[in-house]
């Protein structure tokens, strides 16, 4: 359609009904200033343009880049590196060619502020959260000039918004930001915008907010909600319709929590509760600025195909995230995996089997990752190496291989230790899991409620052995990263599945074996961890499983092959949207009993393990226990927010000076 064919009345006729014809004419003759053409401001412009507003002053000094794609209306392949203000002006003109636009491509500053607000009926704030000074300045000038102003912040999957009218409370009286260092102005702005914080409960990864790098998480849904409420308030203000609740009223609408709240802060941030929140916020900000950056910040950038394959394979799981492997790259086609086991210090690995299973998982992951690059791996275990140092030589070659459909799920596979849904497995999902490992393995499932309860009871007893065996104490006290959501070499406490109070208790107890013994003896110290980490998760899942080899496991290679099967099964469950937790210690204790491995000097622990082994055989059958490679549970539910991550590639490479 050519510009001459554009007809304003026709284009916006579907607004009629919610606005009268006379109101539509009034809207066409209004001018709105919008500062910021990013996620919020850009969507404001498009929304208000479609409402039929006829003139805008637009400002933004920035250009589009890829990290804008998730939420900014103007961010597209063909706008990268282009001026945001220019792009949005074009988009708006494409909707209404008769628009009267004034574009401030240099952004707004003290010298052009009056020009930016000239003849304006309303100011709409789309400025970056991290630009508090200029925001305060624009709102102050609007107040002086008698211009109403709206700010709507995209918060989580909702919006928090405030309206400032010329006769109402001013921005400064509400937020009290003047004279504060910039880092504290962020706090006052946020605390004033969202006096209650419904979004907090579903923020899964707080580390993604980086004040230092002036970057925070944000969603398109929130930007659109901001534009929705602002468009509505703009309509009411411009047409003098409907009730408007200006500051000190605040408004919160959270689509995720399905909540709307309107409140009133008579004294703005000066009120006693708000002041307290601000002070707490200052402390938090100081802590955040002192903290380490987010996990990917120090990740090595892989260069050659081998680097890329190993970089993927390092996401293979290992008991307690020990990552018992280092890589030595010889040339573009060859590298060596130097494996080791942890039998010298881990009571769960006295025969090295847990590490061997993990190494098998690593080899399988390597092959899957290589297939995604059109490569095949020839892997040979080096003979003559000590059993506790399994070593594999790998030759990589270009091959006509189909990319393994499990490849995309390598980094997404993780351990969920919290309760899952009890919804039974879909038959199709069980079938896919059964078929995931090839003909040498089968799965024994424990799914019926009565069986699941027996398994829960067994895991409860098993946990008692874990928590009261002195030889397990050094393992437990060294593998947990406290106060952590992510851990590169251990397990973060937040991934253990315990509540914060339980974690505090556990942290104190694990300070010494004396404390553990005291708690266990007099205060039932094992009860809470067994309840939260074993019994409840065991009851709350779709089912437990054992991956069983079709022949007895005898050699190191048998366990490595079992580890390959484990990884295919685990990745398949990730692909199916299932959560997964290994439950390996009952199998491990049963093997110690069978092979007469004295894993403890404590006779009580040995006796308990004998009983446990008998119960396990009673539940699963003797052969399943004997030939079982891997045991765990699966179920539907959300992925864990906290997880073990991995050492960066550079630290896993031998010769880097940092390898083991």
Ligand X SMILES: Cc1cc2nc3c(=O)[nH]c(=O)nc-3n(C[C@H](O)[C@H](O)[C@H](O)COP(=O)(O)O)c2cc1C
Tokens of residue 66, six digits: 């890829």
Closer Cβ to ligand X, 54 or 361, answer by number:
361
Tokens of residue 99, six digits: 């628009």
Shortest separation between residue 361's beta carbon and ligand X, angstroms: 6
Which residues lie near ligand X (CB under 6 A)?
A: 317-321, 354, 357-358, 361, 414-415, 417, 491, 581-585, 643-644
* Residue 5 exposed, middle or buried by CB count within 10 Å (0-12, 13-18, 19+): exposed
Shortest separation between residue 202's beta carbon and ligand X, angstroms: 21
Closer Cβ to ligand X, 417 or 608, answer by number:
417
Tokens of residue 227, six digits: 């534009």
CA–CA separation, 156 and 223 (whole Å): 10
Tokens of residue 279, six digits: 């002070």
- Report CA Rg, the chain: 31
Name the residue with tokens 């502020």: 113
Q: Which residues of 545-573 are buried (b: 16+ CB within 10 A; e: fewer)?
A: bbbbbeeebeebebbbbbbbbbbbbbbbb
Shortest separation between residue 445's beta carbon and ligand X, angstroms: 18
Closer Cβ to ligand X, 312 or 321, answer by number:
321
531: DSSP letter: I
CA–CA separation, 509 and 530 (whole Å): 14
Closer Cβ to ligand X, 358 or 366, answer by number:
358
Closer Cβ to ligand X, 195 or 361, answer by number:
361
Shortest separation between residue 250's beta carbon and ligand X, angstroms: 40
Shortest separation between residue 415's beta carbon and ligand X, angstroms: 4
SS3 category, 352: coil
Closest CA to 464 of 586, 594, 581, 617: 586
Give the rounded distance of the alpha carbon of 217 from its chain centre: 11
Closest CA to 316 of 348, 358, 349: 358
Closer Cβ to ligand X, 72 or 321, answer by number:
321
Kindly provide the residue ranges of all beta strands, DSSP E only, lying in 488-533, ordered along the sequence: 491-492
Shortest separation between residue 26's beta carbon and ligand X, angstroms: 59
CA distances from 50 to 3, 43, 98, 593, 646 (A): 16, 11, 12, 74, 48
Closer Cβ to ligand X, 198 or 628, answer by number:
628
Closer Cβ to ligand X, 194 or 414, answer by number:
414
Shortest separation between residue 18's beta carbon and ligand X, angstroms: 51
266: DSSP letter: T
CA distances from 52 to 10, 573, 595 (A): 11, 51, 80
List the alpha helices (DSSP H) in 397-472: 427-435, 449-468
Shortest separation between residue 581's beta carbon and ligand X, angstroms: 5
Shortest separation between residue 322's beta carbon and ligand X, angstroms: 8
Whose CB is nearest to ligand X? Answer: 317
Shortest separation between residue 414's beta carbon and ligand X, angstroms: 4
Closest CA to 174 of 188, 184, 153, 187: 188
Name the residue with tokens 């007893």: 461
Closer Cβ to ligand X, 36 or 562, answer by number:
562
Closer Cβ to ligand X, 310 or 354, answer by number:
354
């Amino acid at each position: 359609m050519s510009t001459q064919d554009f007809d304003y009345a026709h284009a916006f006729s579907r607004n009629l009904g919610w606005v009268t014809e006379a109101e539509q004419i009034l809207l066409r003759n209004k001018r709105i200033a919008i500062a910021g053409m990013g996620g919020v401001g850009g969507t404001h412009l498009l929304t208000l343009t479609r409402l039929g507003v006829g003139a805008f002053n637009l400002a933004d000094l920035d250009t589009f880049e890829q990290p804008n794609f998730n939420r900014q209306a103007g961010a597209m392949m063909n706008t990268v590196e282009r001026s945001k203000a220019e792009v949005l002006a074009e988009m708006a003109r494409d909707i209404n060619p008769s628009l009267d636009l004034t574009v401030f491509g240099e952004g707004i500053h003290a010298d052009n502020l009056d020009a930016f607000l000239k003849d304006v009926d309303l100011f709409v704030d789309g400025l970056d959260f991290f630009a508090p000074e200029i925001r305060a300045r624009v709102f102050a000038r609007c107040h002086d000039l008698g211009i109403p102003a709206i700010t709507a912040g995209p918060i989580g999957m909702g919006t928090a918004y405030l309206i400032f009218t010329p006769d109402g409370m001013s921005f400064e009286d509400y937020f009290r930001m003047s004279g504060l260092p910039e880092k504290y102005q962020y706090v006052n702005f946020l605390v004033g915008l969202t006096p209650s914080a419904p979004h907090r409960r579903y923020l899964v990864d707080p580390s993604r907010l980086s004040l230092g790098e002036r970057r925070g998480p944000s969603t398109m849904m929130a930007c659109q909600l901001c534009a929705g409420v602002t468009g509505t308030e703009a309509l009411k203000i411009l047409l003098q319709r409907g009730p408007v609740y200006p500051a000190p009223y605040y408004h919160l609408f959270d689509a995720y929590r399905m909540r709307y709240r309107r409140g009133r802060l008579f004294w703005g941030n000066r009120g006693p509760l708000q002041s307290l929140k601000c002070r707490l916020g200052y402390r938090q900000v100081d802590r955040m600025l002192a903290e380490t950056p987010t996990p990917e910040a120090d990740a090595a950038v892989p260069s050659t195909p081998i680097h890329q394959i190993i970089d993927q394979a390092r996401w293979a799981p290992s008991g307690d995230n020990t990552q018992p492997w280092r890589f030595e790259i010889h040339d573009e086609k060859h590298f060596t995996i130097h494996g080791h086991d942890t039998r010298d210090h881990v009571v769960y690995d006295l025969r090295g089997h847990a590490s061997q299973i993990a190494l098998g998982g690593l080899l399988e992951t390597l092959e899957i990752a290589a297939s995604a690059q059109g490569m095949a791996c020839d892997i040979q275990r080096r003979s003559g190496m000590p059993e506790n140092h399994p070593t594999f030589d790998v030759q990589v070659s270009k091959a006509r291989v189909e990319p393994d459909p499990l490849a995309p799920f390598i980094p997404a596979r993780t351990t969920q230790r919290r309760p899952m849904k009890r919804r039974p497995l879909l038959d199709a999902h069980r079938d896919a899991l059964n078929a995931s490992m090839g003909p040498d393995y089968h799965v024994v499932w424990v799914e019926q409620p009565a069986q699941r309860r027996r398994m829960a009871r067994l895991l409860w007893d098993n946990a008692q052995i874990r928590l009261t065996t002195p030889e397990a104490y050094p393992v437990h006290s060294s593998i947990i990263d406290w106060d952590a959501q992510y851990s590169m070499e251990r397990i973060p406490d937040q991934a253990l599945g315990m509540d914060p109070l339980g974690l505090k208790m556990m942290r104190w107890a694990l300070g010494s074996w004396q404390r553990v013994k005291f708690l266990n003896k007099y205060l039932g110290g094992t009860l809470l961890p067994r309840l939260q980490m074993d019994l409840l998760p065991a009851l709350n899942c779709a089912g437990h499983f054992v991956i069983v080899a079709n022949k007895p496991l005898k050699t190191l290679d048998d366990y490595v092959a079992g580890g390959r099967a484990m990884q295919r099964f685990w990745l398949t469950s990730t692909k199916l949207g299932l959560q997964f937790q290994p439950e390996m210690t009952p199998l491990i204790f049963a093997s110690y009993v069978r092979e007469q491995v004295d894993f403890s000097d404590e006779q009580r622990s040995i006796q308990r393990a004998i009983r446990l082994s008998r119960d396990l055989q009673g539940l699963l059958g003797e052969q399943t226990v004997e030939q079982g490679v891997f045991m765990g549970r699966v179920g539907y539910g959300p992925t864990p927010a906290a997880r073990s991550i991995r050492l960066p590639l550079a630290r896993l490479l031998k010769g880097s000076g940092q390898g083991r």
